[in-house]
Chains A and B, each alone.
Chain A
């Protein structure tokens, strides 16, 4: 828990927060959503970012996901639910970090069967918590029925992060590890 706030004291971590936030928010614009039911259900490719960045960069990525989602709301969708979006997206990136670090310790990341299983578990848990947080916020203001929003957000986040995330982790993890920006516990 200490690491959540200590990242704000380091220039490198602050830049990482800003960059992950900007990539997440910036990717929401050009990478169009895949519409399933127009206006209601869509898949956002950018949903993969909080999960993989969370695993790689830890609390900095969690703050980045929260700020990135708020910035995305600044493209015209700012409402009281944005506060719940902030919290939901923070958890959406922070939970995979906790789960990954609990199960994968000091081993090479090659995305074998065990690592894929842990990754899928992390995606499902994070998507469920994020969906619960955002849907509760929206339901509080009666913006949408709780059950509908819960299911939509859970499916959106989990499907995209699982399918794209495993491929991106396999292709990018080792490459980005060399950058020296990965989170190291104090």
Chain B
């Protein structure tokens, strides 16, 4: 089972250079964060959803839809009560709702969801390899990019080991989902110890394996020819810069 969202597909978005994907993600974040009009946030959300369809990544949307919906709802409720305006619209004891709270709560909830959707789109079209290679292409030392790549690959190993430990302990009658908060916290101890010991053993073995294969943090990796920055990449980046500049200009105006 894969815990990540990336699926190998042959779409325009998947074919983009990894550097374009990272720069575009940052610019999508900028657009979502800078936009202060609800209708523009809605148009932005619909555009992002269209990109999910274009990249055949609607499975990611289905997987995260309920969670994003809950987050949007909670964000709306929180800002409704915590928005600090000037003119009181409603007050009952300590609860005060200011004028404009509904508008800003909806705006902030939409903004949060759009930021998450931008991130999810990136995760759906960029592989772990794309991410670690782009770090190298941006000039990050190979040792750092390698650590990211290794960590991503080990997560699945530890998550699977963790699931097995949880199931094994449940069979022995240690169910962390039962009892009060403190007893539930304590019941996690027998679950965490094997995971830690297993991890440290793996660190010792991995160090030996890497050193025996000549790995050194100072090594360089040659990615020449693996990725090609095409005219499409340039076009996408130009379009994203233009949209971000428009969003910032509108926000400043």
Interface of A is mostly: helix
- Contacting residue for A16 out of B163, B191, B203, CB 8 A: B203
* 13 pairs of residues in contact across A and B, judged by CB atoms under 8 Å: A9-B218, A15-B203, A16-B203, A26-B158, A26-B162, A27-B192, A32-B176, A40-B74, A63-B147, A80-B115, A145-B79, A168-B192, A176-B200
Interface residue total, chain B, C-beta cutoff 8 A: 76
Q: Which chain B residue has the least Cβ–Cβ distance from A160?
A: B185
Q: Which residues of B contact A186 (CB under 8 A)?
A: none
List residues of chain B with CB within 8 A of the CB of A168: 189, 192-193, 196
Q: Which residues of A contact B73 (CB under 8 A)?
A: 39
Beyond known contacts A29-B3, A31-B191, A181-B203: 15 more, CB 8 A cutoff? A11-B215, A15-B203, A15-B206, A19-B154, A25-B155, A26-B154, A27-B162, A64-B151, A76-B60, A76-B64, A76-B120, A77-B116, A142-B79, A164-B192, A172-B197
Interface of chain A residues 137 through 161 with chain B (CB within 8 A): 141-145, 147-148, 159-160
| Contact residues in A for B176 (Cβ distance below 8 Å) | 31-32, 45
Residues of A within 8 A of B88 (CB): none
Within 8 A of A (CB), among B187-224: 188-189, 191-193, 195-197, 199-200, 202-204, 206-207, 210-211, 215-218
Residue of A nearest to B196 (CB): A172
Query: Which residues in A have their C-beta under 8 angstroms from that of B204?
Result: 179, 181
A67 neighbours in B (Cβ, 8 Å): 147-148, 151
Taken together as a complex, chains A and B put the C-alpha atoms of A29 and B163 apart, in Å, by 8
Report the minimal beta-carbon distance from A123 to chain B, rounded to whole angstroms. 13
Contacts of A40 in B (CB 8 A): 74
**B contacts, CB < 8 Å to A:** 3-5, 29, 33, 60, 63-64, 67, 70-71, 73-75, 78-79, 82, 108, 111-112, 115-116, 118-120, 122-123, 141, 143-144, 146-148, 150-159, 161-163, 165-166, 176-177, 181-182, 184-186, 188-189, 191-193, 195-197, 199-200, 202-204, 206-207, 210-211, 215-218
Question: Which residues of A are found within 8 Å of B74, using beta-carbon distances?
Answer: 39-40
A68 interface contact, C-beta 8 A: yes
Is there contact, CB below 8 Å, between B63 and A76? Answer: yes
Contact B218 A32 (CB under 8 A): no
B167 — nearest CB in chain A belongs to which residue? A30
Report the minimum CB–CB distance from B80 to chain A (whole Å).
10
Contact B206 A43 (CB under 8 A): no
| Cβ-defined partner of A18 (8 Å) among B33, B63, B147, B188 | B147
A31-B191, A76-B120 as given contacts; A167 in contact with B211, CB under 8 Å: no
**B contact residues around A179 at 8 Å (CB):** 200, 203-204
Q: Which residue of B lies closest to A28 (CB)?
A: B159
A12 within 8 Å of B (CB atoms): yes
**A142–B122 Cα gap in the complex (Å)?**
22
CA A43 to CA B182, docked complex, whole Å = 11
Q: With A and B bound together, what is the CA distance between A19 and B211 in angstroms?
A: 16
User: Which among A27, A43, A45, A172 has the greatest number of chain B C-beta atoms within 10 A?
Assistant: A27
Q: Which of A23, A73, A142, A176 contacts B111 (CB 8 A)?
A: A142
